[in-house]
Structure 1
Amino acid sequence: MSTDAVTPAVDTALLAAAATAELEDWGPLEEATGEPMQTSGVTLWSSADGSQDTGVWQCTAGPSYWVQEENEFVHILSGSLTVTPDGGSPRKLGPGDAAVFPRGWRGTWELHETVRKVYVIF
């Protein structure tokens, strides 16, 4: 592959500092199923049509229910959570863990503490 075809897609300095990056208030988590959960984040890159993006997301503890409308890759930077697909087994994720949630995935996320992740929506 020629380097002429490569375009830097993310701010690599911000990505390297994702664990300590200053985040913007993104408001309450719509998927929360218990007490309100607060989100914050920063978008590192977004496609022109908005269908793909990558960034850093943080959310306070609590239960939530997700229906994936797109594919998402996550890499957990801090905190821990348990994800349980409908009809499936729970999986605990913590710092250093990665997971892919394919389009159509449905299930619960139980954030045991504030979680910070790098995400890629594609």
Structure 2
Amino acid sequence: MAARFDSTAPHIQDASHWAENLTDWGPHLEPIDGRSHNTGRLLWKGEDGLPEAGLWICTPGSWRLTLPRDELCHFLSGRAVYRRDDGEEIQITPGTVVHFREDWSGTVEVFETIRSVYMLR
């Protein structure tokens, strides 16, 4: 497996399994059960902080989530449910792609470690 972060097109081959040089991103800001933990790798971040793209891995647990900007996630592995405050549920399984709009708010419950490639704008 290879990764090139210094490329004109930063990339990770086989992102579904890549686990080299992950950064510890710590726990969630609003934990519900306090178990979940984040690691990942930044692929790109613009000069003013946006856009941002990378690989995100999160262990089982639950937390509250409010997104301050649009986020596109392609979940490569794991199982979770995102529950919007209005009751809508989004089931996450491998291959799920979700565009969370700015100000999306609810809870997340991860049952099996999730792995996602994401982009914030």
CA distance in 1, matches of 2:30, 2:57: 14
Give 4+ residue runs of structure 1 displaced > 2 Å after superposition. Answer: none
Judge conservation of contact 1:29–1:36 (CA < 8 Å) in 2.
no
Q: Who is 1:121 aligned against?
A: 120
CA distance in 2, matches of 1:65, 1:18: 26
CA distance in 1, matches of 2:67, 2:106: 9
- Which residues of structure 1 form unaligned runs of 5+? 1-7
**Residue number among 16, 28, 46 corresponding to 1:19 in the alignment:** 16
Shift, 1:36, TM fit: 3.0
User: What RMSD, in angstroms, separates the aligned Cα atoms of the two structures?
Assistant: 1.6
Shift, 1:74, TM fit: 0.2
Higher strand share: 2
- TM (normalized to structure 1)? 0.85
CA distance in 2, matches of 1:120, 1:62: 22
CA distance in 2, matches of 1:81, 1:64: 12
Q: 1:51-82: CA deviations, max 9, x gaps?
A: 22000001110111111101000000110110
Which amino acid in structure 2 is aligned with residue 18 of structure 1?
A
Q: Who is 2:5 aligned against?
A: none
Q: Is the radius of gyration larger for structure 1 or structure 2?
A: 1
- TM (normalized to structure 2)? 0.86
Judge conservation of contact 1:46–1:52 (CA < 8 Å) in 2.
yes
How many aligned residue pairs are there? 113
CA distance in 1, matches of 2:88, 2:69: 21
Q: Does residue 69 of structure 2 align to residue 61 of structure 1?
A: no
Shift, 1:31, TM fit: 3.0
